[in-house]
Structure 1
Amino acid sequence: EALQMWGGKADAMCGQHHWPVWGKQRIDTMIRQQRDLYKFAHDQTIRLMNHGLTATEIAETIKLPASLEGAWHGRGYYGHIRHNVKAIYQKYLGWYDANPVHLDPLPPLESGKKYVEYMGGAAAILERAKKDFATGEFRFVAQAVSHLVFAEPDNQAARALLADTFEQLGYGAESATWRNAYLFGAQELRQGMPKAPPRPPMPRETLAALRTGQLWDVLGVRLNGPKAEGKHIVLNWSFTDTKEKFVLTLENCALTYLEGAQDAKADASFTLSRSILDEAIAKQTSFPEAIASGKIKFTGDAMRLAELMGLMDEFPRMFEIVEPRRVVVS
């Protein structure tokens, strides 16, 4: 469509994640090559899927044709063909590659301990891994030593070797996003998880741009299911400025909502403007303050809302990636 609309007409093209391109002929060539790049990646991934190749095998097999491989804008400086074909595979087949070994594997911490045991212990792994590192077998060294780091996260020799391996993989990565991932992993192993200030409240302007249903969805994501076991809370909401009505229900450890309705048997009913809800979420006011000032009116047991909010998780700004999490999450 872009070629039909702008072919032979456009003098300059500015695309996402790319520098401007000038000249009608260069622009036409780039649009055609970009069109064929995406079509090639999609169709060839599907073709190889139908030959039984898994996502990892497809990434290892697929090669761009010379006409696209040699195009400056087709190089993997940002996205990469080896990365993108796995996303195409997952779109159609999901994460499971039909090999039952991968159906229900142990998580990294538990499997790491067993791999270390099977491979003869930390010293044996490090001795072999150093030899492979010296010969440039960085991809497998990363896989092997990662098991040791998860089994023994305080093993400084293992952390150092894995960090050095990630660094080499980063140096060799054409894709900037891959390079960033490798080098960030190396930094975590050497310096620990980056320290970050607490997550600030969501900006008032962002909240105002969200539909009310989206705010309830955010609460649903924050709900700690195990803490909500056995709880049943029903709250009515009526917004005076948007004329919206909702029933918010906690049941079976899930938070759902129904728009355009009210429940006669609700634990509590709240009447307020949507703007006051936004201010409360942005921590510019609190529910008790808004109730005291008359900006929120309620009937029933208002403490049921406090009980619901007490079941919400606060998400950390940072967490471990290449080593076991230090804080248990349930």
Structure 2
Amino acid sequence: MLDKNVAVVVSATLVILSVFLCKYQWTEESLDDVLRRVPAPDILQRQTAEFQHPEIIQQVTNESWVAVGFALGNSILLEGPTGLIVVDTTESPAAAAEILQHFRKISSKPIKAIVYTHNHVDHCKGAESFIENPDNPPDIIGHELLAKLVQRQPSFFQKQYRGGVFQFGTQLEDEALVNAGIGPRLRTDGITVPWILPNKVIKGEKQEMNISGLQIQFIHIPGETPDQMGLWLPKQKILLPADDIYRTFPNLYAVRGTTPRDVQTWANSLRKMAALQAEYLIPSHTRPIAGVRQINELFNVYADAIQFIHDQSLRYLNRDVHPDQAAKMIKLPEQLARHPFLLQFYGTVEWSVKAVYSQYQGWFSGDPVELHPLPPKEKATRMVSLVGTSKLIAESKQALYQGDLQWALELVSFVTKADPSNNDALKLRTNVLVELASKETSANGRHNYLTSVLNDHKRLDLHLNPVPQLTVMPMRQVLHLMKFRVKTEAAKVKEMHLVCNFTDVEEVFHLNLRNGLLLVNEIPKGTPLPPNIDIKLTTTSDTWKELVLNKKSGLRAWMFGSVEVDGSVWELSNFMSYFDRRLS
């Protein structure tokens, strides 16, 4: 009788396990259907109400409106006696054009200024749609650090793009998206739109300007970015805090890949704004807030949460606790954790703790295993050889059944890293990722899990076309980008000196290739050329960009007269061969 009962229990267990593991059965053709059906936690779904329908929200005063729900970022309209000011333009020229139509129902006054609160694309790339008369454009205003940060971006723009695809789920179908945590979704029509940089810069910690009859204080409030600035209208008691505060736990670290954000400085900026005693708060994401008491309480709670993460991370750092362990141990106090502005729809406490560790100690935790670790694929291959593919897959399935999802993912990922063509492991990893996504409250985490499924199945396009940005880029920046394209395996034994004279922009540069790197120096007008030059090249900036983009060979350009070469043409061709012409 006992044996029969045991057999029944085992049989029932196997049936349940089979049903569970087959919860997300799919074929290559139905993978999109699976992703569309992945549920999300109710709490994340409720966040959608914050920006579900595109709308223009008017503040209690008559000077301010905010467009919410048209794109990831908000766009804010300030109306003065003689004109309009647009603060932040979203990431999308299409969204910005739609917003402008609504703004034009409010006022026909000219747009006198466009303000970028900081350099992130969801605040700047819609600017062209607000420039109604290109012959008489409005002033573009930003902090003095903005241009420097923008000019750094092309150095790693392919990585930035790939990180954005995973964080924001930009290649997931609409049905697979719930929201982006701080907005409905990131729109992508502005990704390759060239930057319109500020023609007026705000310097230092505070600067006051009168624009269209409105007295505005620009206040430096570094937090999400070093260049971030808020706008304070003292007469109207209106404060625009940029991205230092919004209705979700802040992105103290962005999983798309960023340098560590200065968490202590972020908290200090919030306390600086709290001292202003604003009556109206209009953030650049999520909805505005009114009331001095409510706004002050919000600033204090938000700053306290960030300060808590910072201080507790240092506490555990000084106790020599590993960052991964500290990230599991540190939890917000209950009164902070349940606050509606600190629910983890965007950033998370766990990622933030590791970011603070990284800010203070860098990549090395002190564990000697990390000094010279095996590359992931080699480690996975050795693990599969040691344990066996079947065993790893079986243990991963068991962990999935038991709800130990992270362990299930780590186990099966050894197999997929070692052998990406293993179909059984690939299907199992898909099921684990989907299950993780269904439980993830952070939209960023959810998008990463689901986009990883597409990536595993080679369903992503991770190449960003560089042509639109490169064609308008200054030559100094184009040549600077070449430094990161040197094929050291070919160039490390060769030293060459090249002088480039770009006649259309009247700029001359000295390019020195040596020791596997490229040194770039501009030669001021009237300055003698360096000695020992191998090649003197005269061309236009457009022709050089075609060479860099591999649209034209140096030899062909010389044959058709678009490049003049003083020296060996073959040496020019040799020089260009030392650079990776693939820009993805």
1:193 partnered with 2:458: yes
The aligned residue for residue 309 of structure 2 is 41
The structure 2 residue matched to 1:309, chosen from 576, 579, 583, is 576
Measure how far apart 1:279 and its partner are.
Answer: 6.3
The structure 2 residue matched to 1:271, chosen from 535, 538, 547, is 538
The aligned residue for residue 467 of structure 2 is 202
Q: Which runs of 5+ in 2 are unaligned?
A: 1-268
Counterpart AA for 1:200: N
C-alpha distance in 1, partners of 2:362/2:453?
Answer: 30
Range with greater deviation from structure 2 (75-84 or 274-283):
274-283
1:8 partnered with 2:273: no
Counterpart AA for 1:180: H
Counterpart AA for 1:112: A
The aligned residue for residue 221 of structure 2 is none
Counterpart AA for 1:157: D
C-alpha distance in 2, partners of 1:285/1:155?
Answer: 41
C-alpha distance in 1, partners of 2:552/2:379?
Answer: 47
1:177 partnered with 2:440: no
The aligned residue for residue 343 of structure 2 is 75
Measure how far apart 1:219 and its partner are.
Answer: 0.8
SS at match of 2:378: helix
Kept in 2: contact 1:201–1:283 (CA 8 A): no
The aligned residue for residue 368 of structure 2 is 100
The aligned residue for residue 328 of structure 1 is none
CA change 1:300–1:315 in 2 (3 A) is closer
C-alpha distance in 2, partners of 1:238/1:275?
Answer: 12
The structure 1 residue matched to 2:432, chosen from 165, 172, 182, is 165
C-alpha distance in 1, partners of 2:560/2:296?
Answer: 63
Kept in 2: contact 1:163–1:187 (CA 8 A): no
C-alpha distance in 1, partners of 2:582/2:555?
Answer: 24
CA change 1:19–1:125 in 2 (3 A) is same
Deviation sequence 1:59-114 (CA, Å, 0-9, x none): 11111122321222222211112112212212221211111122212212221122
What is the root-mean-square deviation in Å for CA atoms of aligned residues? 2.9
C-alpha distance in 2, partners of 1:136/1:216?
Answer: 52
The structure 2 residue matched to 1:56, chosen from 324, 331, 337, is 324
Provide the TM-score with structure 2 as the length reference.
0.48
C-alpha distance in 2, partners of 1:270/1:5?
Answer: 54
Kept in 2: contact 1:3–1:28 (CA 8 A): no
Kept in 2: contact 1:141–1:165 (CA 8 A): yes
SS at match of 1:38: helix
The aligned residue for residue 205 of structure 2 is none
Matched ranges for 1:92-171 at <5 A: 92-119=360-387, 121-171=388-438
The aligned residue for residue 248 of structure 1 is 511
CA change 1:81–1:157 in 2 (3 A) is same
C-alpha distance in 2, partners of 1:101/1:233?
Answer: 41
CA change 1:67–1:239 in 2 (3 A) is farther
1:215 partnered with 2:478: yes
The aligned residue for residue 232 of structure 1 is 495
Counterpart AA for 1:174: T
CA change 1:201–1:102 in 2 (3 A) is closer
Kept in 2: contact 1:233–1:304 (CA 8 A): no
The aligned residue for residue 65 of structure 2 is none
Measure how far apart 1:315 and its partner are.
Answer: 4.2
C-alpha distance in 2, partners of 1:97/1:197?
Answer: 32
C-alpha distance in 1, partners of 2:551/2:493?
Answer: 32
C-alpha distance in 2, partners of 1:267/1:145?
Answer: 54
Kept in 2: contact 1:68–1:74 (CA 8 A): yes
Measure how far apart 1:5 and its partner are.
Answer: 5.2
Counterpart AA for 1:68: L
C-alpha distance in 1, partners of 2:425/2:272?
Answer: 56
**Greater strand proportion:** 2
Counterpart AA for 2:277: G
CA change 1:231–1:83 in 2 (3 A) is same
SS at match of 1:73: coil
C-alpha distance in 2, partners of 1:232/1:64?
Answer: 56
The aligned residue for residue 177 of structure 2 is none
Range with greater deviation from structure 2 (293-302 or 241-250):
293-302
C-alpha distance in 2, partners of 1:141/1:171?
Answer: 15
Q: Which runs of 5+ in 1 are unaligned?
A: 318-330
C-alpha distance in 2, partners of 1:13/1:276?
Answer: 47
CA change 1:244–1:65 in 2 (3 A) is farther
Kept in 1: contact 2:492–2:517 (CA 8 A): no
The aligned residue for residue 325 of structure 1 is none
C-alpha distance in 2, partners of 1:138/1:77?
Answer: 20
Range with greater deviation from structure 2 (210-219 or 79-88):
210-219
CA change 1:195–1:165 in 2 (3 A) is closer
1:86 partnered with 2:354: yes
Counterpart AA for 2:566: T
Deviation sequence 1:185-207 (CA, Å, 0-9, x none): 22333xx212539653421x555
Kept in 2: contact 1:164–1:186 (CA 8 A): no
Counterpart AA for 1:187: L
Provide the TM-score with structure 1 as the length reference.
0.82
Range with greater deviation from structure 2 (303-312 or 221-230):
303-312
Range with greater deviation from structure 2 (24-33 or 88-97):
24-33
CA change 1:179–1:284 in 2 (3 A) is same
Measure how far apart 1:35 and its partner are.
Answer: 2.3
C-alpha distance in 1, partners of 2:576/2:459?
Answer: 29
Counterpart AA for 1:12: L
Kept in 1: contact 2:496–2:575 (CA 8 A): yes
Counterpart AA for 1:67: Q
Measure how far apart 1:137 and its partner are.
Answer: 0.7
Measure how far apart 1:289 and its partner are.
Answer: 7.6
Counterpart AA for 2:432: T
Measure how far apart 1:56 and its partner are.
Answer: 0.5
Deviation sequence 1:152-182 (CA, Å, 0-9, x none): 3222111111111111111111111111111
Deviation sequence 1:240-281 (CA, Å, 0-9, x none): 465543210111111112233732221111234546545665
Measure how far apart 1:217 and its partner are.
Answer: 2.4
